Structure 1
Amino acid sequence: MPRFLKHPFGQAAAVLVLAFLLFEWGIAYLPPLFGMESAPVPDTVLFQYMLTVLVGILLWVSDSEERWREFKAPIRRVMVDPERKGARIALLVALPILVGFVTWERVRPSVAAPPALRSIHPAPPGQIQFRGATMPITGLENPLRHEGSIEEHYERGKEIYYRNCLPCHGDPLDGTGHYAHGFNPAPLSFRTTARSPSSPRASSSGGSPRADPGCRWRARRGTPRCRPGRTSSPRTRSGR
């Protein structure tokens, strides 16, 4: 065994270095060699681990008065002995530089790509398959605008809305119905001219949400909690 490792100070330094190597690289790269998954240790967790190891080392070296005296001897020689003046000057220069470098590394601006936004709904396709037939859902218009009486369609639409849509989309069509708080994403407001913020076409089309092809696509595919062909409305979910 090297003479340095026979001294309590050398043993403490060796344990500290080995612990750092184990936490920094060993945990991340050793388990995969044995077929086990692993991941790098975050810096905050690494700091906590190293602090725990340091406290354990100090408890060990201070357990015996003789060991504690031997552990402090090299530190005292560097700090007090006249022949160690060069080492003291080197420490006084190196420590502030090291602290300044670590601080600069933590506060300096980093150049990185912005985080990707979470997509709640996938982009609606240009066409869908429904009962064996291909149906385009882009560029469509409401056929009721050109057939029959708008007043009759309006009254019929109110009846359907209050029966199926009111609990989620609300009486003023603002997406704040009685059940709205239980859905994420929240029900769409029909009072604005913008589309759902999760729709990729929201910023490009600017059309009314009532003409959004994504609504037809969602009705065909269902919601995350309902199978295709069903919606989240209480009437439809109950099968009536």
Structure 2
Amino acid sequence: MKKPDGANPAKLLWFVVIVFIAYVIFKSPGWFMNKPIPGSLIMMYMFFAVVAALLVMTSTDESTQGLFAPIKALVEDPSKKIIRNAVFVIAPIVGALITYNQIKPGFDAPVELRATHPAPPTIMKAYDKTFNLATLENPFRKLQTENPEKFKEAVKEGGAVYFKNCFFCHGDKLDGKGHFAQGFNPLPLPFQGKDTIAQLQESFVFWRISTGGPGLPKEATPWLSAMPVWHTFLSEDEVWKAILFIYDYTDNAPRSWVSANSKKDG
């Protein structure tokens, strides 16, 4: 049988190549720069790419016939029965696989919307006591003005506590770069600078140290903090003295309710 006119598949192949190139271009930011375009945007871009290619390649009757003639020949030409049957079997299978991959449940971890400094509870329990965090103060802080020598001694004792227990993660320079730091995600908190403990009240720091990672509230999900529950290892005084040390070493002053309220009044 004579081959139908215009059944040359070259133009259809060009259309497939153009669509494939467009897909590669849209996916390349994710492949080469690790900045992928969202899948929904890629679908939208591909829709416009296919429409644009069809508009150009069907601008005349002759070009339209050249593009769709191979498809028409595949359906109508008796000599292509084997190929036609193969296509009619493979196409639904491919479509089913694509659909399955789109709707099957994934096992990827959820997006982590983790609060770095979650709001503390009103009260906390540790050392067989209940603490009101709204009024809790460091019992050694008053020594800074009342008895500077005893304050320095308390800071020194806090430094000993820190270097026995904390510097392995938070670092000997309190910069969050301790020996074990790279093994954690998120990294241990650095205390240097004015954007971490300088923004926190000592009661907040006491709560975080005492209750550790397991004491974090829901907004800190997925609770990746590796901080131990230190109130099971350290005494209450040791925690307070360690807090004195980290503020003193980094030349920071804890935020207080008095200063916060005075700023609001001003």
Greater length-normalized contact order (CA 8 Å, ≥ 6 residues apart): 2
TM-score normalised to structure 1 length: 0.49
